[in-house]
Amino acid sequence: MGVEIERKFLVIPEHWNPEKEGKEIKQGYLSTDPERNVRVRIYGGDAFLTIKGKTVGISRTEIEYPIPLDDATELLQLCHRPLIEKLRYTIPESTLMWEVDIFSGENEGLMIAEIELPDEATTFEKPAWVGEEVTTDFRYSNSSLCEKPFRTWSN
């Protein structure tokens, strides 16, 4: 069984300047239960069904399967609304990979950087465009953003 170990940060917009184009993601949730969620994602021309377990610390079970694009398109119709729409940029940093998501639609204005780690104790340097850590703030999880989109938050 796979395990995802991930830390999540806000992006500092004035320091963010991508060097290449992002890849479009559209995803929805068939289940947003905190104990387990089930996600359908279209990422570029590929489609996936992902099951994630409850987060403990910064780790959780993650199992992902490729599925036919037509199936994903149909399953997205069954998902909670709104769907999550974003552009993803991947930035290699040493032996790790940063993923920066620039949200659109109901979550427009939100920019999140994530880094997946081999274990919870892994240290890394934060690029200049990485700001406040929000790993443990559930509001920033994609499953939460489909239930309470960023544009509805009062600051």
Three-state secondary structure string covering 107-147: HCCCEEEEEECCCCCCCCCCCCCEEEECCCCHHHCHHHHHH
Considering only CA atoms, which of 148, 129, 150 is closest in space to residue 9? 129
Q: What are the chain's domains? A: 3-152 (2.40.320.10)
Please choose, from the candidates 63, 65, 67, the residue with its C-alpha nearest in 3D space to the C-alpha of residue 47: 67
29 is catalytic: yes
pLDDT tens profile 12-61: 999 999 888 999 999 999 999 989 999 999 998 999 999 999 988 888 89
Q: What is the pTM of this model?
A: 0.92
- Among residues 29, 43, 65, 140, the one annotated as catalytic is 29
